[in-house]
Structure 1
Amino acid sequence: MRKTLTSLLYSLPLLMAVAASSQAMDKIAPAAALTAQTEGKVRVIIMTRADSTFKDGGNAFRRPAAYLSKHLSLPARDVRPIGQLPMVSATVSADSLGKLREDPNVAYVFRDELRKAQLFDTVESTGAQKHDDAGFDGKGWTVAVLDSGVDTRHPAFKGAIVGEACFSLNYSGDDGTKTSFCPGGKEQVIGKGAGVNCDMSFSEMCLHGTHVAGIVAGRPVKLKNGKVVHGMAPGANLLAVQVFGGVDSEQACGQQKRCILSSDSDILRALEWVYSLRNEYKIAAINMSLGGGKFTEPCDSQTPYADTIAKLRAAGIATVISAGNEAEQEAIGMPACVSTAVSVSATKKDGTIDVNYSNVARFVTVAAPGTQIFSAIPGRRYLRLDGTSMAAPHVAGAIAVLREEKPERTVDTIVKLLQRAGQTVSDPRTGTKLRRMDLARIRIPGGETQSAIMTEAANA
């Protein structure tokens, strides 16, 4: 029986010049202004200017959170910094938005959106086996999985998980009440046990992160039928990062009335944590099979993610994000729409784009298998699932393998390799062409290609 769920997606930047003056453009995102007007309050992410002085009356403040708490008359516990980014998250009133609009220290105010895991309901079809046979399986490299947590006791992850964290705020906002899934109900936990999957009794979507992590770097496991299954990079390590919380809201969850969701601020805190580990681990990629929205072109000026994803890419860390499962013909979700992200659409086992669910756009980075993907789920079990959520981790795992082969490869180089070695696939609805990942067409150092492709020097 075909299992159906719903898939995942997400999203910044803003050129710091975006609000060089209040005359340049309104500093308040329309969605934030509308919600505050209709609901009386709104959850927001406040981006401050790089040249901010943070003075309020006769008081000077070193940190934006302390300044904004005083300036907006909010309890300090309700104004949360986002790592080392020039951002804080808070719930504010319409009057407070007016203060922020006039504040010269504020660059822009985003609505802190809730994001969902987007599961729509493999390895052999990606060419990865050729690299595995040559001894390259991602060993020595690490992939961070920002998701609903991982069943760390599953045999697929024996010895794989080298770090865990959880970022999930508790709050009651215009879009419902969100309860953290972090141990003890805390909003941030780092260490063993922090990245464990959320409780399946709350939502079946709590299996999502385990399934995704298994595609990235599941260790070889022999099933009862004798078949051995494993992920794209079975030698790679994992950082298990739980970023979801439980929401009881028909407005946010629809007919389910309760679901698991993550906020942009949760995800940004997690991205900052991974970035802080860049010198401790050799991090090849971050996988984010989550998001939402509809964007027909790169969205850097409309999201709080752009600067962070660009910073990660410059540090050699690819942020791989699923394109979304709304069957859009020329649009993808956020934060996959960020120009420096590695966005991924989904193909069927025959290599064609699965137009039944996969979002497609001309600016998608690459396509990869996403239909009927067999991977681990909590409780030592396995399951087949569909979604761009399943396609993205194929690419994240492949990047770990390619970095093991040549550590000096940059994200730009790897993206060019994946695109130029990929097979061309077309969306039958529009004719939009994408490149389907095919590692068999990428030369193994010291080996031969199975197909004639451009040399890596030409691809650089």
Structure 2
Amino acid sequence: MRDSYRVLARVLCPVVAILSTVVSVSAAPAGSGTSLRVIIRLNSSPDATPDSASGLSKPASYIKKEYPSAISAKVKSLDIPDVVVTQIAKEDLQLVINDPNVAEVFEDTLSKPSADIGASLPEYEKPVPPYSESKDGTVIAIIDTGIDTKHPYLKNKIIAEACFSSSSSEGIKSHSLCPNGKDKQITSGAAIDCDLHISGCGHGTNVAGIAAGGPATSDGKILQGVAPRAQLIAIQVYSRFDSADVCGNKLPCALSYASDQLSALNYLYESRNKFKLSAINMSLGQGKFSQPCDKDLLFNTVKKLREAGIATVVSSGNEGLTGFSPSPACIPGVISVGAVDASKNIAKYSNTSDMVTILAPGEDIISSQEEGKYGKQSGTSMATPQVSGALSLIRAQSPNAKLQDLIDNLVAGGTRVENLRTKKLLVSLDIQKTMSLLAIAKASKQPINISAEQPLKWDGVSPTRVVVVPAEDNNHDNSHKATAYLESSTGKATAVINKEGFYVIEMKEGINENDKAAIQAVFGEKSKISHETLSAPQER
């Protein structure tokens, strides 16, 4: 069993199964010295043994009946088939793991918001530019500490609210932050941001503003989120803790159980036909993992959401780690987001690994804060909703596109950034360039489909003049569009010459890989681009 997975698997050899070792970068495990809070997934009834099959139709009842002495707290159903949460004595854990009717046992880990540090969203002194306006109908879900729905930046944007927050009297005690005091609430007002005297609260209001806030005026300047015409679903998944074991010196604090995150994702999946979800934002995390977490508790639900065309966008974390990602950023299928600083370099606090999908500005981001105020925060939490907002913008332009195509669009429109820690290249979000690429692609009837796997080298040089043979299905004259687009997207003086069947493009400052991507957006992904070389006459 790899130390990357916080899952307790049944072992096939006569060895006692133990908790996988994980170094947490967010919070202590959700257990005490003698017991552990766990999530138990039972086999579905067809796989059950005959003498207990009937009990599996009620998982909570089955666990209570089979393990009355091991259970030290109530058994909580998650409204998800075959899954329950409870506190169990560590000495009895092996009994549950070995039960043939138990498929998996997970530790119910705790996550914290990915913002202890706080890119600035642009402060527009004129009306917001056209590229920032998505069509009505796109929806971004914010799984976080809740949202201040009365904030002027977010007013009338919330179309649904839910709260999944746990109270536990065993182990490390927690208290539900749902307004009704229960573990679940799905109604208007359910996801109001938690009390600001609790460390971590207010985070969701800030994140929501970055994704879809405004436009609004502050100090004479027009502020807006990335997708201001998108609507929001607010989901509160944090609980209150009063123990220094998990809060450190920030008492009390808000932390999120993995089981509550699972409930939130499942709620969104079940509501997928009701809302036109473009992205789910999760600016939170726990643990450090060097490999993809395909056995994570949330993996199956993330996979189902992706298959339904809904992106789960997750922050990469703020511990400054290289080669590691927290959960859920390590889960295959999520869009993992790191941060760049004001100099457009990878922020020193941003975790980076091969599991990071894209970067976005993460330094001094201006957004909504408590009590109707505005302020700056830094962290991968602030970078992540910019990607969620960008996906909403693209989804509005291409409502029937496959999710992978939307992700490819973000990569194609991004700026290459060298990871100075590893010398590898990553892609940083460039919303304006991405939307410009989409506009050009739409006008030229050529899709943007530049894979993230595409080599980033241009034979080690930057030529000033190239020859472009358009893709076979791109047979119309693009020179007038290409000149204007390439100059605006690259910032370089450009000449595009139509040679009747092929084009010559000249940039005196040199044509790099980003420029090549822009050329392909105009002339087709399969267009052939080559250096124009010079030949001298052959002498005898």
* TM superposition score normalised by structure 1: 0.87
Out of 255, 260, 265, the position equivalent to 2:259 is 265
For 1:218 and 1:397, the matched residues in 2 are separated by 10
**1:62 to partner: Cα distance:** 1.0
Matches within 5 A, 1:249-328: 249-301=243-295, 303-328=296-321
Measured against aligned partners, the alpha-carbon deviations of 1:12-63 in whole angstroms (never above 9, x if no partner) come to 898xxx75x744997664359x989982210001122344327656954413
- Same amino acid, percent of matched pairs: 36
Answering whether residue 329 of structure 2 is matched by residue 336 of structure 1, we say: yes
**1:453 to partner: Cα distance:** 5.0
For 1:71 and 1:439, the matched residues in 2 are separated by 55
Matches within 5 A, 1:206-225: 206-223=201-218, 225=219
Residue of structure 1 in register with 2:514 after alignment: none
- Higher relative CO (Cα under 8 Å, sequence separation at least 6) belongs to 1
Counterpart amino acid of 1:324?
Answer: G
Aligned residues: 438
Contact 2:217 2:223 in 1 (8 A): yes
Out of 112, 115, 122, the position equivalent to 1:116 is 112
Residue of structure 1 in register with 2:381 after alignment: 389
Measured against aligned partners, the alpha-carbon deviations of 1:45-95 in whole angstroms (never above 9, x if no partner) come to 112234432765695441322222221227898222223254211111134
Out of 63, 76, 79, the position equivalent to 1:68 is 63
Answering whether residue 176 of structure 2 is matched by residue 186 of structure 1, we say: no
Residue of structure 2 in register with 1:8 after alignment: none
RMSD (Å), alpha carbons: 3.1
Residue of structure 2 in register with 1:6 after alignment: none
**1:130 to partner: Cα distance:** 12
* TM superposition score normalised by structure 2: 0.75
- Shift of the 27–216 alpha-carbon distance from structure 1 to 2, 3 Å rule, reads farther
For 1:22 and 1:410, the matched residues in 2 are separated by 40
Counterpart amino acid of 1:374?
Answer: I
For 1:44 and 1:212, the matched residues in 2 are separated by 29
Report which stretch shifted further, 99-108 or 79-88. Answer: 79-88
For 1:99 and 1:185, the matched residues in 2 are separated by 33
Consecutive unaligned residues of structure 1, counting only runs of 5 or more, are 1-10
Report which stretch shifted further, 335-344 or 292-301. Answer: 292-301
Contact 2:140 2:233 in 1 (8 A): yes
For 1:134 and 1:117, the matched residues in 2 are separated by 30
Answering whether residue 159 of structure 2 is matched by residue 162 of structure 1, we say: yes
Out of 425, 431, 438, the position equivalent to 1:433 is 425
Contact 1:168 1:182 in 2 (8 A): yes
Residue of structure 2 in register with 1:98 after alignment: 94
Contact 2:306 2:403 in 1 (8 A): yes
For 1:344 and 1:275, the matched residues in 2 are separated by 22
- Shift of the 455–365 alpha-carbon distance from structure 1 to 2, 3 Å rule, reads same
Matches within 5 A, 1:214-253: 214-223=209-218, 225-253=219-247
- Shift of the 35–419 alpha-carbon distance from structure 1 to 2, 3 Å rule, reads closer
Consecutive unaligned residues of structure 2, counting only runs of 5 or more, are 23-27, 444-480, 490-517, 527-540
**1:305 to partner: Cα distance:** 1.1
Counterpart amino acid of 1:272?
Answer: N
For 1:364 and 1:25, the matched residues in 2 are separated by 36
For 2:212 and 2:314, the matched residues in 1 are separated by 16
Measured against aligned partners, the alpha-carbon deviations of 1:182-222 in whole angstroms (never above 9, x if no partner) come to 0131110011110100011233x211000000001102111
- Shift of the 138–392 alpha-carbon distance from structure 1 to 2, 3 Å rule, reads farther
**1:335 to partner: Cα distance:** 0.6
- Shift of the 400–267 alpha-carbon distance from structure 1 to 2, 3 Å rule, reads same
- Shift of the 131–86 alpha-carbon distance from structure 1 to 2, 3 Å rule, reads farther
Contact 1:219 1:231 in 2 (8 A): yes
For 1:320 and 1:26, the matched residues in 2 are separated by 37
Q: Please state whether the residue corresponding to 2:115 is helix, strand or coil.
A: coil
**1:407 to partner: Cα distance:** 0.7
Answering whether residue 47 of structure 2 is matched by residue 52 of structure 1, we say: yes
For 1:444 and 1:344, the matched residues in 2 are separated by 22
Q: Please state whether the residue corresponding to 1:300 is helix, strand or coil.
A: coil
**1:110 to partner: Cα distance:** 1.2
Out of 404, 409, 415, the position equivalent to 1:417 is 409
Q: Please state whether the residue corresponding to 1:412 is helix, strand or coil.
A: helix
Residue of structure 1 in register with 2:34 after alignment: 40
For 1:206 and 1:35, the matched residues in 2 are separated by 21
